Amino acid sequence: MDLPLQGLLVLEFSQYLSGPAAGLRLADLGARVVKIEHPEKGDACRKLAIRNTWVDDSSLLFHTINRNKESFSSNLKSEEDLSTLFKLIGRADVITHNFRPGVMEKLGLGYDKVAAINPRIIYASISGYGKEGPWKNKPGQDLLIQSLSGLLFTSGDQAAGPTPFGLAIADILSGSHLVQGILAALIKRHKTGRGSLVEVSLMESVLDLQFELLTTYFASGHLPVRSALANAHPLLSAPYGIYATADGHLAIAMTPLHELAEIIACEDLLLFSNDEIFQKRDIIKEILAKYLSQQSTAFWLGKLLPNDIWCMPVLDWHQMTEEEGYRQLHMEQDIVTGSGDRIKTTRCPIRWNGRILTSAKPAPGIGEHNASIKHEFKLTSE
Amino acid sequence: MDLPLQGLLVLEFSQYLSGPAAGLRLADLGARVVKIEHPEKGDACRKLAIRNTWVDDSSLLFHTINRNKESFSSNLKSEEDLSTLFKLIGRADVITHNFRPGVMEKLGLGYDKVAAINPRIIYASISGYGKEGPWKNKPGQDLLIQSLSGLLFTSGDQAAGPTPFGLAIADILSGSHLVQGILAALIKRHKTGRGSLVEVSLMESVLDLQFELLTTYFASGHLPVRSALANAHPLLSAPYGIYATADGHLAIAMTPLHELAEIIACEDLLLFSNDEIFQKRDIIKEILAKYLSQQSTAFWLGKLLPNDIWCMPVLDWHQMTEEEGYRQLHMEQDIVTGSGDRIKTTRCPIRWNGRILTSAKPAPGIGEHNASIKHEFKLTSE
């Protein structure tokens, strides 16, 4: 397969989730991604197991994010290793790292140094909070960034208190933004022949995520307030939200209230005018919640869907993976690791020329590709 | 400023949030983005106000997502308008749309037709659920996609029931993935001279978001369970989560439990071994929550931060924007609309060669640039 980014060489100094997630996307789009790892420790994510799940001597998490890559081990504090690495940098198109500000500079791998070796390189970094200001040396960890950013007041009902997004949203978004910056810089290079410095941070990425909410806050000066129940977006009117039914849960999106009232024959909802659906959303949602709890999810879907009301059942992962709609997306792929273990994981979400992008290449062992890369790029001094 | 994507022409047939968010990113990176809008109705997002906030005759939401773009009005059902549009398509680099599958084909603007006019074009679409399968014609709305995808079982405490992410995460992610696909396809075009078809969907984007969780679910067969309190990620051990203090809330990330116990002098936490921090996380979190509620956030930060424990206060938008760390990120920019209204909004989260990317260009009125675009591209038949 002749993928879009075929022929590009990416050196990934990144660890954990954000930078490696960017590397995975570039790899799935066809780039050759080589992890630069410490000879003994490797990417620290190798030892970061979630729910204590391991595959060989690295965590399942590591295998998930680092499939479709190679590994070149190098001790960044050794003069000899560094000089070998400089040769490899001379041949690369992209470098990524997510060390705290100043670390790469101390290692002799700052942007100026790297650009002097290879003026065509795209040098891309992810930090927690950027290079300036009082937060720059604070831990750039996902939950902490979420907590500082106001994001905890978007999810959950009002009484629930601050509620984080239950996965590493800051890491994932900043990795995604890094990919955008890298690809834009590569397009620029076609014209100028010169590389660029691309920088993102977890904090800026999570602020961008909230662009709607922040712009509304700037305009009104009032903090958005989550609804008392069935909150699904602090700025949206009733009935937008999730409702318990007799046997499960139902999601209802933007829907004209009176139309809904008539379809489900809930007269109490007719007491509210269209001007009240934001101000009185808590009362409206309470009436609706009580009413919907009396019948099954299937019963309500049977009433609502034929009338083009935007609603869906709430599914867990088990229920979802049983759905024909899920199966036809072909989001799963199998990887066999170097130790022979089989991992089922998801694929790249982008389709290109009608094809889904999968790759059977597993995550590498530390330094697994040192010999082949040294040979190919003639890096040995002997 | 000579931005990375300068010189590229994007025609945005997209409406609402997902596609236009992709267009905004391309515009902020330097592309010229022209919205193709119905002469009377325009992008339907113009009439979609959140919290009933308007700027001139379009919603604040529309202005936020569509700044830095031009507008060319065209009735896609008129032969004459369509033939003018074909000439413009002949000069464009990228087309985006987020209509349901089949709509663009019916209008005579399907990929095959467009690629025949302009073989170099990148044709990029966002759907709800892809082009195949039983979900393909279901409403591709953000909350409904979240509800089908299992995502509602990641946030909130266990007893809270299914809890959506409180903003349009599926729209935002699919827009972000579309940008990645478009830029990768443009890089490919430099080699081959040919365009590509790039397709993403809200559902595939939200599945990709959960790649860690899904891979763990595939491996274990067990549904992840949210902790009973202080849940911040269903797969992580105690103490990871948000805790109420005497005067606010504190976020604590991955932290060795015994080290934490000693720093805050909470002896009850020493009763749990490192092997129990996942299995017994609810009991551990309960003990910790009770203990931390006795003192202020500042008190705990004063104990924890000097000992390098990863923690931060929980801030709302008001508190955050008062922080010097926030100010130094320079995430805000002012836009003056065509009607003279001033909007404060956020900027692109990517820094390029050390510069932040801002643009003073406001969202366009419907068809505001028809005359200039017709003149520039010589589109008039007269």
How does pLDDT run across B281-309, given as a tens digit for each residue? 999 999 999 999 999 999 999 999 999 99
Q: What is the 3-state secondary structure (H, E, C) of chain A?
A: CCCCCCCCEEEECCCCCHHHHHHHHHHHCCCEEEEEECCCCCCHHHHCCCCCCEECCEEHHHHHHHCCCEEEECCCCCHHHHHHHHHHHHHCCEEEECCCCCHHHHCCCCHHHHHHHCCCCEEEEEECCCCCCCCCCCCCCHHHHHHHCCHHHCCCCHHHCCCCCCCCHHHHHHHHHHHHHHHHHHHHHHHHCCCEEEEEEHHHHHHHHCHHHHHHHHHHCCCCCCCCCCCCCCCCCCCCEEEECCCCEEEECCCCHHHHHHHHCCHHHHHCCHHHCCCCHHHHHHHHHHHHCCCCHHHHHHHHHHHCCCEEECCCHHHHHCCHHHHCCCCEEEEECCCCCEEEEECCCCEECCEECCCCCCCCCCCCCHHHHHHHCCCCCC
Q: Tell which of A283, A300, A321 closes a domain.
A: A321
| Nearest by CB: A150 against B25, B156, B316 | B316
Q: Are residues B133 and B167 in the same domain?
A: yes
A230 within a domain of the structure (yes/no): no
Tell whether A159 and A28 lie within a shared domain. yes
For the purposes of burial, counting CB atoms within 10 Å of the CB of A380, is it exposed (0-12), middle (13-18) or buried (19 or more)?
A: exposed
List active site positions of A: 171
**Token digits of residue A336:** 């066999």
Answer yes or no: do B156 and A161 touch at CB < 8 A: no
Say whether B215 and A181 touch across the interface (CB within 8 A): no
Residues of B with catalytic function: 171
The nearest CA of chain A is from the CA of B370 a distance in Å of 28
pLDDT in tens, A162-201: 999 999 999 999 999 999 999 999 999 999 999 999 999 9
Write the residue in B162, B205, B345 that is nearest to A218 by C-beta.
B345
Test the B interface: residue of A17, A24, A54, A155 with most B CBs within 10 Å: A155
Q: What CATH number is given to the structural domain containing B83? A: 3.40.50.10540
* Contact criterion met (CB < 8 Å) for A352 and B198: yes
CA distance A218 to A232: 21
Which of B155, B281, B324, B333 would best serve as a mutation to test chain A binding (most A beta carbons within 10 A)?
Answer: B155
B364 and B257 in a single domain? The answer is: no
Q: Say yes or no: ipTM exceeds 0.90.
A: yes
Mean pLDDT of chain A: 96
Residue A267 placed within a domain: yes
The Cα-based distances of B237 to A78, A144, A265, B351 in angstroms read: 36, 16, 46, 35
> What average pLDDT score do residues A78-89 get?
96
B310 neighbourhood in chain A, CB within 8 Å: 139, 141, 144
User: What does the block give as tokens for B3?
Assistant: 């931005």
Tell if the CB–CB gap between B204 and A329 is shorter than 8 Å.
yes
Q: In chain B, which residues have their Cβ closer than 8 Å to the Cβ of A135?
A: 323, 325, 328
Q: Do B187 and A184 touch (CB under 8 A)?
A: no
Q: Do A280 and A365 lie in a common domain?
A: no
Summarize pLDDT for A109-127 with one digit per residue, the tens.
999 999 999 999 999 999 9
Which residues 285-344 of A are in CB contact (within 8 Å) with B? Answer: 310-318, 320, 323-325, 327-329, 331-332, 343-344
CA-based nearest distance A101→chain B, Å: 13
Assess if residue A219 is contained within a domain.
no
| Beta strands A311-313; A249-252: pairing state | antiparallel
| pLDDT recorded at residue A140 | 94
Closest partner residue to B196 (CB to CB) among A213, A323, A353 is: A353
For residue B206, the chain A residue with the least C-alpha distance is A349
Residues A125 and A31 both lie in one domain: yes
Residues 105-164 of B with CB under 8 A from A: 129-130, 132-135, 138-139, 141-144, 146-150, 152-157, 160-164
Residue ranges of chain B whose pLDDT lies below 50: 382
A364 falls within a domain = yes
pLDDT confidence band for A48 (50 / 70 / 90): confident
Per the CB < 8 A criterion, the answer to whether A75 and A38 are in contact is yes
Chain A closest-CA separation from residue B217 CA (Å): 8
Q: Confirm if B143 and A253 have CB atoms less than 8 A apart.
A: yes
Residue A215: which of B142, B325, B346 has the nearest Cβ?
B346
Give B222's contacts (C-beta < 8 A, 6+ positions apart).
none
Q: Does B186 lie in the same domain as B86?
A: yes
Lookup: tokens for A29: 């789009």
- What is the pLDDT, as a whole number, of residue A382? 47
Residue B105: its pLDDT value, please?
A: 97
Q: Are residues B191 and B300 in the same domain?
A: no
Domain boundary among B303, B321, B339: B321
Q: Which helix (H) or strand (E) holds B151?
A: none
Structural domain includes residue A226: no
Q: Which residues in chain A have Cβ-Cβ distances shorter than 8 Å to B144?
A: 251, 253, 310-312
Contacts of A352 in chain B (CB under 8 A): 181, 184-185, 196-199
In chain A, residues 44-63 whose CB comes closer than 8 Å to chain B = 50-53, 60-61
Q: Is residue B215 part of a domain?
A: no
Q: Name the residue among B179, B204, B216 with its Cβ closest to that of A180.
A: B179
Residue A126 belongs to a domain: yes
Residue with tokens 């990148």: B122
Contact A172 B209 (CB under 8 A): yes
Is residue A51 scored above 70 in pLDDT? no
In a domain, B146, yes or no: yes
Do A128 and A77 lie in a common domain? yes
Within this chain, do residues A281 and A346 fall inside the same structural domain, yes or no? Answer: no
| CATH number of the domain enclosing B255 | 3.30.1540.10
**Omega cis (within 30) before A239:** yes
Is A198 in contact with B331 (Cβ distance < 8 A)?
A: no
Q: Do B329 and A203 touch (CB under 8 A)?
A: yes
Domain boundary among B276, B304, B321: B321
* Nearest neighbour of B232 by CB, restricted to A5, A166, A345: A166
Domain that holds residue B356: 9-209+330-376
**Same domain for B334 and B316?**
no
Structural tokens at position B344:
């404060």
Say whether B215 and A343 touch across the interface (CB within 8 A): yes
Q: Does A52 have pLDDT greater than 80?
A: no
Based on the fold, state whether residues A24 and A64 are members of the same structural domain: yes
Residues B302 and B336 in one domain: no
Give chain B positions within 8 Å (CB) of A181: 29, 350-352
Residue pairs between chains A and B whose CB atoms are closer than 8 Å? 441
The count of domains in chain B is 2
